[in-house]
Structure 1
Amino acid sequence: MRKRLLWIALGMIAGVVAVSKATAYVKANTPDKARQFLLGPDQEHVGMRTLQGLVAEFTDVRRAREAELNSRYMDKLS
């Protein structure tokens, strides 16, 4: 179990490093118009916007699933 957690953590760290390096490369080597197309107008907070989007999507899916389960089990009790 510890080995799995270690490999998952290493994979996540490698992913974060790869994304940050790729973002830095795009910022350094692309014209402004292309950069705005790829990263959006607020280029300093791309990671935060991505994280906020993931949290919002997770919350929406969780609420939908919770409502589905509540209706399913309430129908069984009625």
Structure 2
Amino acid sequence: MKRTFWVAVGVVIGVVAVAKAQAYVKANTPDNARQFLLGPDQDNVLQRTLAGLIEDFNTTRKAREAELNAQYSGISK
């Protein structure tokens, strides 16, 4: 239970740090530099990043699941 708590605390700190860094970049850089760093859709960077992470996680999970299914389905037959 303690480990889960500390992982959650780390995730929250990471999200806050990224949000603060993006706010700093938006406030203190010219538009061309912001578009280079954050892309043309500067308002939804956090959502796009989280969606990409979730997509990568699900792709890796499905590949590993298929690998394990192939490995263990051969043993039981």
Q: What is the TM-score of this pair, normalised by structure 2?
A: 0.84
Amino acid at match of 1:26: V
Give the distance between the partners of 1:69 and 1:12, measured in 2 at CA. 29
Alpha-carbon distance in 1 for matches of 2:5, 2:68: 34
Q: What letter corresponds to residue 32 of structure 2 in structure 1?
A: K
Question: Which residue number corresponds to residue 54 of structure 1?
Answer: 53
State, as a whole percentage, how many aligned pairs show the same letter.
61
Equivalent residues in 2 for 1:1-78, closer than 5 Å: 1-2=1-2, 4-78=3-77
Alpha-carbon distance between aligned partners in 2 of 1:55 and 1:24, rounded to the nearest angstrom: 23
Distance 1:18 1:71, change over 3 A: same
The one of the two structures with greater contact order (alpha-carbon pairs below 8 A, sep at least 6) is: 2
Q: How many Å separate the matches in 2 of 1:66 and 1:59? A: 10
For this pair of structures, how many residues does the alignment match? 77
- What amino acid sits opposite 1:71 in the alignment? A
Q: Distance in 2 between matches of 1:27 and 1:77?
A: 57
Structure 1 ranges of 4+ moved more than 6 A? none
Q: Letter of the aligned partner of 1:50 in structure 2?
A: T
Q: Deviations over 1:6-55 (max 9, x none)?
A: 44443333222221111011001111111111111100000100110011
- What stretches of structure 2 of length at least 5 have no aligned partner? none
